[in-house]
Structure 1
């Protein structure tokens, strides 16, 4: 394995572990509060995280080029950011903005 391949594998593994941890925290917060915004946040973070893993796996195990891997990762990242943007505008079933966090999320 070339040094740059080792660096790619290490960074993708770190991204998977850290991103998976943060996405799981967001999902646990969703389960605790029932907030649609937190659910969308968890899914968006998961898309961004999984994209890096899928791209790395395709390159390492399926033999696709780096360019194809970057395209796959970029697609997952774009979809993930769209879901994250949606999470900022999520509404509750009654049509009001999600207010599951007291004081609009501003810490005092």
Structure 2
């Protein structure tokens, strides 16, 4: 059991590290290009990464039930995916038009 706990902790740390890295890259792309959707992508990726590790943290830190802990993680992950979907779908008024699309 201790081996599985160590493995779970290692993968949760990897999820956080990769989530932070991708969010940082997306935010850097936003700052470089000014495209508003990239800022929301950064936020969404951070939420998805948080949702992946939140159940374990909630369970261990607060003593909440496993089901409540998993529900908290699922809610945060869902909000992250909704934000990610919106960031990819929405058209922002201050962004330049995409190539091949009319400006008006």
Q: TM-score band (shorter)?
A: 0.7 to 0.9
SS at the partner of 2:91? coil
Cα distance between partner residues in 2 of 1:52 and 1:23: 15
Distance verdict in 2 for CA 1:4–1:40, change over 3 Å: same
For 1:44, the equivalent position in structure 2 comes to 44
User: What number of residue pairs does the alignment pair up?
Assistant: 101
TM-score for the superposition, normalised by structure 2 = 0.80
Give structure 2 stretches of 5+ with no counterpart. none
SS at the partner of 1:64? coil
SS at the partner of 1:93? coil
Q: Deviations over 1:31-62 (max 9, x none)?
A: 11111110111111011112223322112222
SS at the partner of 1:92? coil
List aligned pairs for 1:28-67, cutoff 5 A. Answer: 28-67=28-67
Cα RMSD after superposing both structures: 2.3
Cα distance between partner residues in 2 of 1:30 and 1:72: 29
TM-score for the superposition, normalised by structure 1 = 0.78
